[in-house]
């Protein structure tokens, strides 16, 4: 939107012609790079730019999409479902050997390799920075902040929180944290303040009840659980805000990789509980952010 405003101001001031502006706008809806049609107009339409789903894409494809987004002035980029091995390869595609040694899987010298979720203050900068050496090795800095637990890569700085309230993210167990971190980082990427309540499942209900202030004070709650998925119903019966339930694939055989939790959450008797797909932390976070920004 800011780029459109800037362009219109240039037309107004006479810096560019109406025809030049018209051509630039026509070119913006998407850019076809062969294996992907990058939606450069999505932020204009929906308020949030396109997010890259890393699973099923090669490192070459992810790097190419990132470059296209950067060339089209996308300042922040979120990449989900990108494993650590692929993240290293994406780094190499984006930056070659700048700031790195020659080992195949080496991480940037002098930088932390990977973040560890919510407690990470400088989570794995694995992109590249401008090298001050020879002219042949100078490139513009593109840093990827990689969070291994969440399998999430972030390019650009996190925005300041501008939502109406806090989004609480609660998990039944520690095993649910990877999905929770995908949700938490997505919420923060979208400009939300996040409160993490991890391992507060119904096997020890006192753990849940010890966080009543957070639960009652939330604008939206994301309840994440595997096994029988009861956490969403319990929280849904305590909170007055919307609860978004995320079933996870955590559990033994009869959990059917999350199907048991999914059906349990869909059949919740607690009012105000909605459900997203199995392990879909991103989808829950996006919906929670929309709710937290409704004015």
What's residue 285's pLDDT? 99
Residue 261's pLDDT band, with cuts at 50, 70 and 90, is very high
Contact present, 207 and 198 (Cβ < 8 Å): no
pLDDT of 47 higher than 80: yes
Top-confidence residue, 165 or 110? 165
pLDDT of 136 higher than 50: no
What's residue 23's pLDDT? 81
Q: What is the pLDDT of residues 234-260, one digit of tens each?
A: 999 999 999 999 999 999 999 999 999
Write down how long the chain is.
295
Q: In what order do the strands lie in the sheet with 273-275?
A: 193-197, 166-171, 220-225, 243-247, 273-275
What the chain holds in terms of domains, given with CATH numbers, is 8-155 (no CATH), 166-292 (3.40.50.1970)
pLDDT of 187 higher than 90: yes
Q: What is the pLDDT of residues 191-214, one digit of tens each?
A: 999 999 999 999 999 999 999 999
Which has the minimum average pLDDT: 39-43, 77-81, 193-197, 279-283? 39-43
What's residue 91's pLDDT? 86
Supply the mean pLDDT for the chain. Answer: 85
What's residue 199's pLDDT? 97
- 3-state secondary structure (DSSP) of residue 55: coil
Q: What is the DSSP letter of 48?
A: S
Q: What is the pLDDT of residues 85-122, one digit of tens each?
A: 999 999 888 875 333 333 334 443 333 333 444 433 33
- 3-state secondary structure (DSSP) of residue 245: strand
Query: What share of the chain has pLDDT > 90, as a percent?
Result: 67
């Amino acid at each position: 939107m800011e780029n459109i405003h800037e362009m219109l101001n240039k037309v107004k001031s006479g810096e560019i012609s109406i025809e030049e502006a018209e051509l630039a706008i026509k070119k913006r809806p998407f850019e076809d790079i062969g294996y992907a049609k990058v939606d450069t107009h999505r932020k204009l339409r929906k308020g949030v730019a396109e997010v890259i789903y890393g699973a099923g894409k090669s490192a070459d494809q992810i790097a190419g999409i990132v470059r296209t987004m950067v060339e089209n002035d996308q300042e922040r980029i979120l990449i989900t479902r990108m494993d650590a091995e692929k993240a290293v390869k994406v780094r190499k595609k984006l930056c070659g050997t700048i700031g790195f040694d020659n080992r195949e899987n080496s991480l940037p010298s002098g930088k932390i390799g990977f973040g560890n979720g919510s407690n990470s203050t400088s989570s794995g900068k694995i992109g590249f920075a401008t090298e001050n050496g020879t002219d042949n090795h100078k490139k513009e800095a593109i840093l990827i902040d990689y969070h291994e637990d969440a399998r999430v890569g972030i390019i650009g700085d996190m925005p300041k929180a501008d939502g109406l309230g806090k989004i609480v993210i609660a998990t039944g167990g520690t095993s649910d944290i990877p999905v929770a971190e995908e949700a938490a980082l997505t919420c923060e990427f979208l400009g939300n303040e996040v409160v993490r309540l991890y391992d507060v499942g119904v096997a020890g209900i006192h753990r849940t009840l010890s966080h009543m202030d957070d639960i009652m004070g939330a604008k939206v709650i994301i309840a994440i659980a595997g096994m029988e998925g009861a956490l969403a119903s319990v929280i849904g019966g305590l909170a007055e805000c919307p609860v978004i339930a995320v079933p996870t694939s955590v559990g033994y055989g009869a959990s059917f990789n999350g199907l048991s939790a999914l059906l349990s959450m869909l059949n919740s008797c607690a009012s105000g509980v909605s459900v997203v797909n199995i392990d879909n932390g991103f989808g829950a976070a996006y919906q929670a952010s929309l709710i937290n920004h409704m004015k």
